[in-house]
Copies of this chain bind each other. A is one copy, B any other.
């Protein structure tokens, strides 16, 4: 790495951090709980979100922003849940930045939202460096990816507040070793809460929704 690139990168990150801080203040003032989802491509972010918007949407006012390089397929899929959804198309940029989130919120009344979900681009590397002003960063590890991913992509686990082990209905078919996965998460991020779930069968989603309700209660100072 040439020093010049490092310097430019540091400036970008610093600018992002400042903007994320102001976004966080804005969310807090509006009373909106904000979660971001990060994972490999195909770990199940959109499927989880689709079900979450539908089910959590029965009790709360929910919305989503979804990031992708290209296409608005995810936004179309999520719109079926009936919640407001906006697509952020990043072009060749491999992660979301606070500015993209701020731009995508343009014209939305945040006070009308209890929960805002931000689905990042599928990427286990770069999103870890960009604060988006979220309350909770959720990393998804699907059982088909291999138990070693936390060791190989430690930064994203270090920046996360919760790990969801997804596609748990495929655990047996994939030969998933849950104890090894847990050990590997503990190695890079001791104490990170983990929830095993399947957005297809619904298994484990009760624990996920409880975590969301807890977040909401703490926001309201209950």
The B-contacting residues of A in range 48-92, CB under 8 angstroms, are 68-71, 73-74, 92
Contact across chains for A124 and B125 when beta carbons are under 8 A apart? no
Contact across chains for B69 and A149 when beta carbons are under 8 A apart? no
B5, B125, B148: the one contacting A8 at CB < 8 Å is: B5
Beyond A40-B145, A122-B152: 11 further Cβ-contacts under 8 Å? A4-B8, A40-B41, A41-B124, A69-B155, A70-B154, A92-B125, A94-B123, A94-B125, A123-B123, A123-B124, A144-B144
Give the residues in chain B near A121, CB-CB below 8 Å: 125
Give the residues in chain B near A5, CB-CB below 8 Å: 8, 12
Interface string of A116-136 (1 = CB under 8 A from B): 000001111110010000000
Contact across chains for A145 and B42 when beta carbons are under 8 A apart? yes
> How many residues does chain A have at the interface if contact means C-beta atoms less than 8 Å apart?
40
Interface string of A32-45 (1 = CB under 8 A from B): 00000000111000
Q: Is A190 in contact with chain B by the CB < 8 A criterion? A: no
Chain B CB count within 10 A is highest, among A5, A92, A152, A174, for: A152
Give the residues in chain B near A151, CB-CB below 8 Å: 70-71, 73
In the complex, which residue of chain B has the Cβ closest to the Cβ of A174? B170
Question: What's the Cα separation between A2 and B7 when bound, in Å?
Answer: 13
